[in-house]
Each structure stands twice: as C-alpha cells, then as structure tokens.
Chains A and B, each alone.
Chain A
Amino acid sequence: MSAVSTIPTRADSYAPGRMKLTRSFVTVVFSTMVLLIACLVFAPSSVSWGALSGSLPFAAIIAIVGLGQLMVVQQGGFDLSLPGAVSLAVVVSTHYPQQNDGLLYQAVLLALAFNLTIGFLNGALVSIFRLNSIIATIGTNALLYATVFAMSGGVPSVTTGLLANIAGGETFGLPNAVYFALGATALVSFMLKKTVGGRRFEAIGASPAAGEAAGLRVRSYQMMAYVYAQLFYCLAGVLIAGITREPTAFQGDSLLLPSVAVVVLGGTSLLGGRGFPISTVLAAFFLNQLSQFALSVGVPYSAQTIIQALALGFGIGVYSLRWSGKVRKTT
C-alpha cells in the first residue's frame, strides 16, 4: 500500500527489504526463546502442558489489555482508566446476570455500553478539550470505580455457567481465551497495517501536526484510540469474569502495569507512532511465562519479584544491545 512509504516514522523501524521481521519482533521472540530455555533448564514444570493451559488464559488477558493500551500509546497517550474499565466489565458481567445464563448477553451488551461511553468521554477529554491523557483517564477511572461500587458494593459475585464455559473452557486443547486473544491480534494487525484508516491512525500518532497538514481528521482519530481501547478492556473484563469463578470487584487493578509493560516490551514508542500488535501479544506471553517461571522455581516471594525485574530489564536491555552499533553516545 502506497501509504506506507509516506508515513513519517523512525527510519530504523523499517528493516530494508523485510517488512515482517521488525526489530521489536525479533527482540521479543529472542527474549521469549531465552526465557523458555531458562524454564526448561531451571523450572521444567512451568512449561509442562498442564501449567501452560492454566496460565495461558491469563497471558491472553494481558495480551488483550495490552492491545487496548497499544492503541492509546500509539497516539502518544496513556490510558489509566484501564483498571476501572476492566473491573466494571467484570462486575457488570457477573452481578447483572446473577448466575442466570439467559441474562448474560444483556450483561455483556451493558458492559460494552458502559465501556464505550467511557471511551468516548476519555477521547473527548483528550482530543477535544486537550486534557493531558494521564489526568483525564485518572478522572474517568475514579468514575468507573464509583460505578463498580454502586453496582457491586465491592462484593464479588459468582460467574454464570455459560460464561465460565465460553471464557474458561478449552477447544481443540487450547484455552478459549487464547482464541479471543489471537482473534483480537489478527483484527488489530489487519486494521492497523492493511487498511487506509489504520495507516492514517499510525501516521497521526507519529506526528499529529503532519497529519493535520495532510488534511486528516486528527482529533477524531485520537478520540477513537480511547474508544477502541475500551472495547479491548471490555473483552478482557468479560473473559476474566469467565476464567475466574468468583472474580473480585477490583480485578483490573493488577493489569495496568502489565498492559504498559507489554506495549513497551513490544517495541512501541511511548511517544506514539508505529505500533507492533504481534510483538505486544508475544510480550504478554513473555511476561506471563516470566511470572510462572518465578513461581515454579520455588524461591521466596522476594526473589520471585527480583527475578521478574531482572528479566524485564533483560528484555528491554536487548534493545540497547542491538542499538549499540548505531546509536551515538550521549556525552
């Protein structure tokens, strides 16, 4: 597509002649390979099929919220309303039906409605009213949690059987949540890389001014980033509600940091621009496998935390290694 070559972005992101194997992809694959080898050597149980099928749904969740966060980061923003958005989707899809399968589709639609409303609100605050995205989304996060409390009183509720089967079940030996994550990845990759709208979305992320000059509707693209993000948070929330039998009302809290981490590990610049959905999803697998590795090694909790920090440092450090040849030294 001709639009590709006109997008202003960091030149080094494009390896000449091979569009598919970007640096970020190679890095994440390499890091994941190293981690898997470490798992095989030090904690073989963490890569046993049983452990993988138990932990993959959580990797899928991180991947899905990562894709949402990716959209926002591509527009140079941060979405801190993620915890509230995911928790609200969890609460709506468990509290509204009260274990009645018949009400599940209504609950999911209701969750979607909530998330979309918040998405538009976030988007409007950032793109139209020009609020800093961090400030705007912290505010909406508080709003979301107010709704969470209003609906649930902070009390967990048991999920419906149907949702547990859909989100927590397995098809052809793979957890269903993984298919959702793969579907979401395929969708995002296609939309971003193969449609005119997606190319424009990336171009605007890289330089809103250039987008404006090119006559693109910059504000609406920026706004839609927050709306798309909410769609993914909603999906993640509904899936958590099915995977965890009795999810708490604060299930989104632990997802904010991983969502940003996988975007960064996936190689997307926090300044916005080009996004790497496939690398982001692989990074989610990496991050999840990392915590399983730390758990399986059987070391004290403090050491688990250190292992995770070191491996994350390693993951990011690999970038610097490959950089070192090209990057000029700062004085």
Chain B
Amino acid sequence: MNKSNKIINILFFMLIFSGNLFAQSATELEGEFKLAPAIILIILLVTFIMVGFFNRAKDTKTYWAAGRKISPVGAGMAIASNWMSAASFLGMAAVMYGSGYHGLSYVIGWTGGYVLLLILMAGQIRRYGKYTTADFIGDRYYSQGLRGVGAGLAIFISFSYCVGQFAGIGLMFKWILGIDYAWAVIIGASVVLTYTLISGMLGVTKNMQIQYVIIIASFIIPLFILTYKFGYFYWLPQVGYGEIISDIVNGIAPGKGLSSLGHDFAILPSPEFAMPWDPATGQTAFQWIAICFSLMIGTAGLPHVIQRFYVVPRAKDARWSVVWGLFFICILYWSAPIYSAFGKILSSNPEVGVLAKDAIVVYTAQLGDLYPLIIGFLAAGAVSAAFSTVSGLLVAGASAFSHDLYFNVINPKATEQKQMLMARVGTILMAAGVAIIALLELGLIAQLVAVAFSLAGCTIFPLFLLGIWWSGSNRTGAWAGLIAGGSVALVAQVYFLAGKLGVVLPYHEFIHYYLNAWYFAWLGAPLAIISNIVASLLAKEKTPLEIKKFLAEKVHNYDVS
C-alpha cells in the first residue's frame, strides 16, 4: 500500500469518527456553526494537500511529464474534476429549482460543447503543439499583439469564471460557519488562496482523480437515500427520478413521508417545473436556445479546458480523454436535476421560507432529513468542487500573467525567480479582485459562470475554429473578429453592470433580452467569425507560407507532394 493510500484510509476513519462525535440536528437550515461539516471539509483539504505532497514533482520536467504518464481514463477523471465546479455542483440544480426546464439549457450547454470540442479541436490542438491559448493565438496569427490580447483574455475569462466559484464557496462557508455571506466570502477566499499557493506545485493530476471520486460520491450518495426514503426507484436514482418529475406535474398527495421540518412530502400540481419555457418562469424559448448555444461554443473556447489537451502524450489520448471526461461529467449532470426536483417538493410549504437557490442542493439534503454526516460530506464535496476549479483557474490566470504577458510581451529578460514572483503576485491580486466582485452578488452561480463562457465563445472560440480549419484566416481577420466579438461582449457587460447599478441606458429592455450577460455569444460568436472571414478576404496580406505548410502537413495530414 503506498503512502497516499494509507493517508486516505486514516483520514476516512477520522471522518467517520467525527461524524459520530458531532452529529447534529439537520432541522436548523442555517445560522449556526456546524462542526461535523467543518471537520469533514478540513479533512478533505488536508487530504488533497498531503496526497499532492507525496506525489509532488521534483522538477518542472517531471511536473509536466506527470500529466503525460496517465491513462486516458485517468486523464478523463482529471478533465471532469477540473470541469466540475460550484456551477455544476450547486448552480445547475439552483437554476432548475427556480426555473424548471429552463435550467436544462445549462445541462445541455455544458455537455454538448464537448462534442464540438472533440470533433473540431482536441486532436488538432494537441498536434499543433503549443502550451497555452495565447501561444497558439500568437503563433498561428504571427502577432505579439494578439498573443498579449490572448493572454489578457485568458486572465479575464478565468477571472469571470472564478467569480461564480467564489460565490459558491462563500455560500457553503456561510452555511458551515453560520456567519454573514460577506465574511464567508472573505474567509473562503483566504482559505482557497492559501490552498492554491500551497498546492500549486504539488501533484495536480493525482489530486484531480481523487477529487473527482470525492465530488461524485458526495453528490450521489444522498440521492440513493432520498429516493429510497420517499419510495422511488432507488437502485438507479438517475432513472428513478422520472416518476418524481411526473409527480410534481400532477401533484403529490400527503402520505409519502415527512420533511425534517415536519411538513408532508407533498405538492400541488406544478407543471411549470417541467414544461418547456413556461410563462411562470419568465424564460422564453429564445433564451433557452441562446444559453444552450452560448455555453456550447464557450466550452470549446475556454482556455483552461483547451490547455488540458497540451499535457497528454498523444493526440489520440487527447481525444479519448475527452470521451472519458464527458462520461464522468455526465454522471454528475444526469444526477443534478434530482436535487432540484426533491428541493421543489420539500420546500413547497411556505413555512420553509425563501431559500438561497444556490444552496438548494444542501438544503434539499437537510429537508430530506438525511444523516448530518452525509449532509456535511455533501457540503464539503461542493467546496471541493469549487476549490479544485478555482486553484486550477488561479494558476492558469497567474501563469498567463507571468509567462504570456509579463515574460513574452513585457519583459523577455525576466529571470525565472522574477517570473515565479509575478505568478504569485498575480494569483493574490486575482483572488482579491474576484472576492470583491463575488461580494456584489450579481447573479446566480450558474449565470455568473455563463458570462465567462460567452466571453470565450465570442473571442477565443472563433480564433481557434478558423485558425485550425482555414489557413486563409490571417492577422487582420483575427483582429477584426476579436474587435467584433469583443464589442458585443462589451455592450452586454456595460448594460448588465449599468442595470445592476440602477442606471437605465437607451434600449435597455431590448439589450437586456437579446444581449443578456449570460448568453450574448449567440450573436457575438457568429459575428466574430463572419468579421474574421470578411476581413481576411479583404486584406492584402496572406498567412505566412510556413504556417500554412505546418497546418496542412502536421495538423491535417494533407499530402501535397
């Protein structure tokens, strides 16, 4: 038995012990310090750091090689762990809880994008052989300026993505510690920053696999218990919950059990939960499709997702890691609607009060009167999901800052120590900035994360798509596309922030509906692609021959001899 397995076993027994010692009533939904979840969370974080410590890389070469030794199944788990964040764990169920079928646009958007990513990009990106998105953009479009913009975009997208994660961390810390949201965000941000600075150089890939197992186990175990408890098909809750959806539509008469607050597990007919773009939800068919499309192309343009393909040994492994990664992700995505369905029923009595939608996963487990240890494990799983993604994003953002922006563009003579210092400064600045924005509570977690997807879909996705599949796309086209996509993003963001500040700009209603901050890529991405194509055709310059040759021979296997 190796060291990391021993540690896991010891910590597992500590976890069980803590649960028995500090078992608490689950009826207090919030407002008090919860010892068992706090201990479970600490144990998990210590586990991740210790496993990383025992699997740490001895030098930079080994650090990268660690990623290149793992099997496609292991790489798939790493992709899934990297991907499954607070938005997947907490956010999806929250949107479905509040808006019913509308929430499924997030489920489909965040999984369907992987098909695009695989068939259009994964293997080609690996064969192109660059290490960051900025490297690819700078090299393919032969422009230092574009490299800088690419790095800036990667930082900005990582930043936006982190805001939703910090909101999730804040909510869970609020729930565990029983304190105000603002303090919870500040404490949570400090803990995740410390965790990132400690674990940043440790064995990342091994950790990601362990994190995946913990995240998925903590998410699924409560579902078996809930379906069993309320008389649904519990052998496979992902199939068994069909009856729950139909029951919500038709109504459930009392007699199936009680919630932890003593209310009947019952609900009056509520077809608005399952029917498409129901008027009661205030969401339309256009919004369903716009969100779905924006999230899909955003998935195929996210820097931290694309970069995972650079660290697998072969293009074939890049493809198979996507297949496995998507399968592992889908296990969680098949399960998330179950929380929203149980949450809908268990919170249907007005005496429950208004619950924070983003914490509905945990509230559902509480209202279902599950054993406190299980609820604590669930909350700790949510924090782990956010931590694993945030630490990856902070490292990616910081490396884009120090490597792509500072070293490659601003100061090419910088020493390695200076670069490391810049990376650490970048991490701290980014975490502080994200925490401040998270305190503003601008939207639901899933919606905040969707902003990052739309940004990526408007800017990076068109550059990669055309860069790989059309050698006629040149530097001028790339700039034109970036300006077009960036302009749409800017308009959407300005109107969104103005709305939050209470400022009404001209055509506010129109822009808010058609270029909403969560889904502006439905227009921005096609516009960026068209602008790129038109400007490339109109420009007199041609893509340099060596780049065309490389694309044709190495990336696409065109036999032109």
User: Are A and B interaction partners?
Assistant: no
